[in-house]
Chains A and B, each alone.
Chain A
Amino acid sequence: MSVSAAPQPAATAEGARPYLEVRDLVKEFPVTKGAVMRRRIGSVHAVSGVSFSVMPGETFGLVGESGCGKTTTGRMIVALERPTSGAILIDGEDIAAMSMRRVRPRRRHMQMMFQDPYASLDPRMRVSTILREPLAIQRIGTREEQFNRVRELLNDVGLARAAMDRYPHEFSGGQRQRIGLARALALQPKLIVADEPVSALDVSIRSQILNLMNRLQEKYSLTYVIISHDLSVVKYMADRIGVMYLGKMVEIGSGEDIYRRPAHPYTHGLVGAIPIPDPDVERSKDAAAPRGEIPSAINPPSGCRFRTRCPRAQALCAEVEPPLRPFGPGHEAACHYPLRPPSEPAAA
């Protein structure tokens, strides 16, 4: 799978190039023991060889449960975390191979929107300072121009101009998330990685933020990577979805592929476990949720990492790690005993 040559961006049939391409991405965190004589006693295999690509203007969703590596993947894309190995091509340039000094000026193209609107805004800064900070760091425009940009941003996210002089605690959760979105937009990025953008919000506020994100995507041709544990949110927003489990990408496909035609038993179980606000649908469900608990990422199972909870697991699953195989156009899954037959490998 891994090629040692310098990665070249993949060209698709139409000649269009993905804006973001992630290849064989690996992140291991050291597990140490001892305060003075720190020894490395193992690693947390947070992300273990994840690949996907996102076209310009597309929304890619990453879903999975706690510890599946979705957040670490997102943080590596915006260079808040450096990968152990693998490539991250942004507009054709591999930021994983660059020094931080070279990454920094490119950061304006990829911004992050965080989950907790209470923790991600400095409580001692006025909104105008929060929104001007990225412009000041990247030395864009004069003071006057920066303030104009702040006004423009507030207008974009639907906040009154008077918000400039107020502090984060004066806003509700939904309004704070609007400020978070405005900050992510400040540098006119091409790519926004949104990590659980609405998980901390109430249902009635959630849809305001999701709809706003959709409108801004259209207005500024943004490319989104949306990370969430909530498959319903991701399916609403994303063109394509990647399902992660314990550091691995187990299935990639459209929302309908994932919901109606899952090939991987984990995807099937995950879909079945999500409560749907309709008593008839809920009570006629047959899919049983995966049994047991997610194993430790320090010592993940051999072969297929889902095998310890999988109802279809056989001897092969412990021995050989299943590769991603095609199950239809744009639909791939990594399973030895999938729920439907894989499509014939065309000219791959």
Chain B
Amino acid sequence: MDERTPAANVLEIDGLKTYIRLSRSTVRAVDGVSLHIAPGETLGLVGESGCGKTITGMSVMKLLPPGGRIVEGTIKLNGRDIVPLPDKTMREVRGNVVSVIFQDPMTSLNPTMTIGDQIGEALRIHREVGDKEARERVLDVLGLVGMPRPAERINDYPHQLSGGLRQRCVIAMALVCEPSLVIADEPTTALDVTIQSQILDLLDELRRRLRMAVLLITHDMGVIAGRADRVAVMYAGKIVEEASTRTLFKRMRHRYTEALVEAIPRLDQETSAELYSIPGLPPDLANPPEACRFAARCRFDTEICHNEYPAFSEHEPGHLYACHHPAGVDEPVEAAAQ
């Protein structure tokens, strides 16, 4: 429509802590995370298994595993803090203002419902539309996600579709109410690469067309490089570095980001040198270290790294990181404070 004044962020997470209580311990899965996403922007959230990236996404949906609880922080969706909302109100938010695309299309679709009924369900709940109108809207959205011959496929069951087509249905389900935020959690990890690029192209195009904000959660640095506007790197429950995609890949500062990128075999480079491998394992989040959580696996650790948590702040314009000995910076940033 008309040119808007600098749009408010669709999502603003501030100081989020989500803990999961187990029988004998409490896992600090998300431990003080702050993020924001503007309309039409894709924020890539990258990290390895168990770093808390999925729990961050699920906190925004308020769909947490048993024992999971948001213990601190705010999550503002279009300016409204959803943390105190009761479950009944959250049901109006989910699928309507924010929706999610999961990794495995087979388990996120109901095998006993036709895809038309599943996609239409959200409409009937949130928009109170009749059957006929719902069907038309479902056909529209199936066309939008590139489903071939939507009028025939609308009565198919998930098992009749290939993995790529199923994921298109999951995307259609997420988009049917035109949410302002889509959380895509490893949306293409279960798919073949040629299908992956089709699905990522589709998400990109829809984001532009519908001006959605996208939280793209993935472990794949390559997917991030091609699709995200900004990147947040997560390690052991905390964001360790955040910057625009180009800045992050060209001038990465945090030693974890650097190690992660060096550990990936790259198709476009000669492969003579041995890959860097990060020794050890991530810390136990039931009992994380007080200081830098990556220090135990870091090549550049010194005493301070094991004693003091490095401040996560904007050391360079638009570039935030939490590292005592950032890569490419001559004087260690914390040197003056010592």
Contact = CB atoms under 8 A, between A and B. Distances in A.
A231 B276 CA distance: 18
Given A259-B268, A275-B226, A211 B194 contact: no
A32 interface: no
Given A269-B194, A278-B225, A289-B193, A204 B267 contact: no
Q: Name which of B194, B220, B261 has the most chain A CB atoms within 10 A of its CB.
A: B194
A290 B165 CA distance: 15
A232 B267 contact: yes
Contact of A204 (B198, B222, B249, B259): B259
Contacts of B49: 202
A293 B249 contact: no
A235 B166 CA distance: 31
B271 A255 contact: yes
A210 B225 contact: no
A329 interface: no
A294 interface: yes
A75 interface: no
A120 interface: no
Given A279-B226, A283-B226, A204 B194 contact: no
A130 interface: no
A207 B194 contact: no
Contacts of B304: none
Nearest to A231: B267
B194 A273 contact: yes
Q: How large is the interface on A (under 10, 10 to 19, 20 to 34, 35 or more residues)?
A: 35 or more
A279 B225 contact: yes
Contacts of B196: 273, 275
Interface in B255-313: 259-261, 263-268, 271, 274-279, 281, 297
Contacts, number: 123
A210 B193 contact: no
A232 B163 CA distance: 23
B82 interface: no
A156 B28 CA distance: 36
B322 to A, nearest CB: 18
A341 interface: no
A207 B226 contact: no
A215 to B, nearest CB: 9
Interface string A251-289: 000010001000000000111111111111111010001
B245 interface: yes
Interface in B206-225: 219-225
A255 B225 CA distance: 23
B186 to A, nearest CB: 13
B124 interface: no
B225 A277 contact: yes
Q: Name which of A271, A278, A285, A294 has the most chain B CB atoms within 10 A of its CB.
A: A278
Given A208-B277, A278-B268, A281-B268, A270 B194 contact: yes
Interface string B212-252: 00000001111111100000000000000000011001000
A204 B225 contact: no
B48 interface: yes
Contact of B275 (A236, A277, A279): A236
Q: Which 8 A-B pairs have the closest CB atoms?
A: A275-B222, A236-B265, A282-B226, A277-B221, A204-B278, A207-B275, A65-B192, A207-B277
Interface of A: 65-66, 172, 174, 202-208, 210-211, 214, 229, 231-233, 235-236, 255, 259, 269-283, 285, 289-291, 293-294
20 contacts: A65-B193, A65-B194, A66-B163, A174-B281, A207-B275, A207-B277, A210-B275, A229-B192, A233-B265, A236-B271, A270-B193, A273-B194, A275-B226, A276-B268, A278-B249, A278-B268, A282-B222, A282-B226, A293-B164, A293-B165
